């Protein structure tokens, strides 16, 4: 029995870590997309060189602030604080963990049945979020600087493989 448990433990820990990193990536993208949506679409920022060209002109363009590199970089520095507003939910059939918001953005009541809310979950999620934000900062900025569909799937599954376990689950569990 001890041998069987010793053989299963690394797989269970790896799956827990994979669930955590996948959940953190998906929550990170959700939070960034929500923050971007809160910015007035008319707000712009000047980008380009502020040097004067020989003809007296400047190569400055105005771009929407919400998806500018400056705004996205600022968001990445503080967005992982939002992980305190998440809880852990375990799928009863697959025993996979996912992470869900426990405090809504707009104050509406949320169904929190089956959601574990505690400091350990929040701090683990925050740490994973910070690691992902740091390691994949360029990819996050690249994806979010353009309006794109399925950023969560494209970034968390295809580009980073943080959620690649979803691709390897047998079909009866999908």
Across the range 120-144, mean pLDDT stands at: 94
- Whether 10 has a pLDDT exceeding 70, the answer reads no
pLDDT value at residue 149: 80
Q: In this prediction, what percent of the chain has a pLDDT beyond 90?
A: 45
Angle at 53 between CA 142 and CA 60, to 5 degrees: 35
Report the mean per-residue pLDDT for the chain.
Answer: 83
Name which residue leads in pLDDT, 150 or 59. Answer: 150
- Whether 7 has a pLDDT exceeding 60, the answer reads no
Across the range 125-131, mean pLDDT stands at: 96
- Whether 40 has a pLDDT exceeding 60, the answer reads yes
- Whether 68 has a pLDDT exceeding 50, the answer reads yes
Report residue 77's pLDDT band, with 50, 70 and 90 as the boundaries: very high
CA–CA dist 160, 150 (Å, integer)? 14
What's the pTM value of the predicted model, to 2 decimals? 0.79
């Amino acid at each position: 029995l001890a041998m069987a448990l010793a053989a299963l433990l690394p797989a269970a820990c790896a799956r827990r870590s994979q669930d955590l990193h996948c959940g953190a990536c998906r929550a990170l993208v959700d939070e960034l997309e929500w923050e971007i949506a809160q910015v007035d679409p008319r707000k712009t920022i000047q980008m380009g060189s502020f040097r004067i060209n020989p003809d007296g002109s400047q190569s400055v363009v105005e771009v929407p602030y919400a998806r500018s590199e400056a705004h996205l970089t600022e968001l990445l520095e503080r967005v992982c604080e939002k992980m305190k507003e998440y809880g852990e939910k375990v799928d009863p059939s697959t025993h996979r963990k996912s992470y869900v918001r426990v405090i809504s953005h707009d104050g509406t009541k949320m169904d929190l049945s089956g959601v574990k809310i505690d400091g350990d979950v929040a701090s683990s999620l925050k740490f994973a979020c910070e690691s992902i934000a740091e390691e994949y900062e360029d990819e996050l900025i690249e994806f979010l600087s353009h309006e794109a569909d399925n950023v969560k799937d494209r970034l968390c599954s295809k580009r980073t493989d943080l959620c690649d376990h979803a691709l390897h689950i047998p079909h009866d569990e999908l």
